[in-house]
């Protein structure tokens, strides 16, 4: 299952991934004439990018007032917990740059259970979008960042989970994570993640090379099911690049 809009960009190392991702993000924000929406991700892969956004020259270039920051998935912990994905984004760049609080849209993990948080977040996304159904001609996001887990998961969409086949819901609760950290999760589904002008995977390091080869080869793994309505970009470093891409 491969997208015909797929691009694989190989750069030198994790630092170059962050710089290239920052450039692509800025380009998408500039394309969005009025308000823009970005889906952030967790894990370690986006950390350098997040740090970069809080520094010159990037910090001065992002139109902070008109960008809205969402999160593609989160661990069901409070935002103050070190495991929180939105907590990390807030700590590394959203707080240091003083992004308007009303533009930051965390998953409400202070609810009683993941499914309740999922329902509330879906409502929030729908109200931001202004409709209950996604129109491929008018994507929800300008850019969605994604990571790749060693088992092929992306966001909190794990191999063999029911959430992979969800076609209606935009957000679901995941009672049992398929990978560490083993805390419940809340995740956007493929239809919601796919509603973007660009989906950008950041993948680095030799540890990811084998799973990346399988995903790019079209094996039926969760990350290979990501079929955005816009561009699909795999931004990878040389260490992670399978033979045929190096």
Residues of this chain that interact with ligand 6PG (CB under 6 A) are 41-45, 73, 75, 85, 147-149, 153-155
> Shortest gap between Cβ of 182 and ligand 6PG (angstroms)?
11
75 vs 119, beta carbon nearer ligand 6PG: 75
Of the pair 4, 180, the CB lying nearest ligand 6PG is at 180
The three-state DSSP-derived secondary structure of the chain is CCCCCEEEEEECCHHHHHHHHHHHHHHHHHHCCCCEEEEECCCCCCHHHHHHHCCCCHHHHCCHHHEEEEECEEECCCCCCCCCHHHHHHHHHHHHHCCCHHHECCCCCCCCCHHHHHHHHHHHHHHHHCCCCCCCCCCCECEEEECCCCCCCECCECCCCHHHHCCCCCEEEECCCCCCCCCCEEEECHHHHCCECEEEEEECCHHHHHHHHHHHCCCCCHHHHCCCCCEEEEEEECCCCCHHHC
Instruction: Rank residues 10 and 32 by Cβ distance to ligand 6PG and give the closer one.
Output: 10
Q: Taking the complex as a whole, how short is the minimal distance between the CB of residue 65 and ligand 6PG, in angstroms?
A: 27
Of 32 and 83, CB closest to ligand 6PG: 83
Q: Least distance to ligand 6PG from the beta carbon of 197, Å?
A: 20
Question: Least separation, in Å, of the C-beta of 138 and ligand 6PG?
Answer: 26
């Amino acid at each position: 299952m491969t997208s015909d809009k797929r691009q694989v960009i190989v750069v030198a190392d994790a630092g170059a991934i962050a710089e290239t991702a920052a450039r692509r993000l800025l380009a998408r924000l500039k394309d969005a004439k009025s308000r823009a929406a970005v889906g952030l991700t967790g894990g370690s892969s986006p950390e350098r990018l997040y740090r970069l956004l809080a520094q010159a020259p990037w910090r001065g270039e992002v139109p902070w007032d008109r960008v809205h920051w969402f999160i593609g998935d989160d661990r069901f912990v409070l935002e103050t917990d070190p495991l929180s994905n939105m907590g990390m984004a807030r700590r590394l760049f959203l707080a240091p740059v003083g992004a308007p609080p009303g533009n930051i849209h965390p998953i409400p993990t202070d609810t009683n259970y993941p499914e309740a948080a999922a329902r509330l977040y879906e409502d929030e996304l729908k109200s931001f979008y202004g409709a209950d159904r996604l129109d491929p001609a008018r994507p929800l996001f300008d850019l969605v960042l994604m990571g790749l887990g060693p088992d092929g998961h992306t966001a909190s969409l794990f191999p063999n989970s029911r959430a992979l086949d969800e076609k209606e819901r935009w957000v679901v609760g995941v009672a049992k994570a398929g990978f560490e950290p083993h805390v419940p999760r809340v995740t956007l589904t493929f239809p919601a993640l796919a509603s973007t002008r660009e989906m950008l995977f950041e993948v680095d390091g030799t540890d990811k090379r084998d799973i990346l080869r399988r995903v790019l080869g079209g094996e039926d793994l969760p990350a290979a099911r990501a079929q955005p309505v816009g561009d699909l970009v795999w931004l990878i470093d040389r260490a992670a690049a399978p033979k045929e891409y190096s």
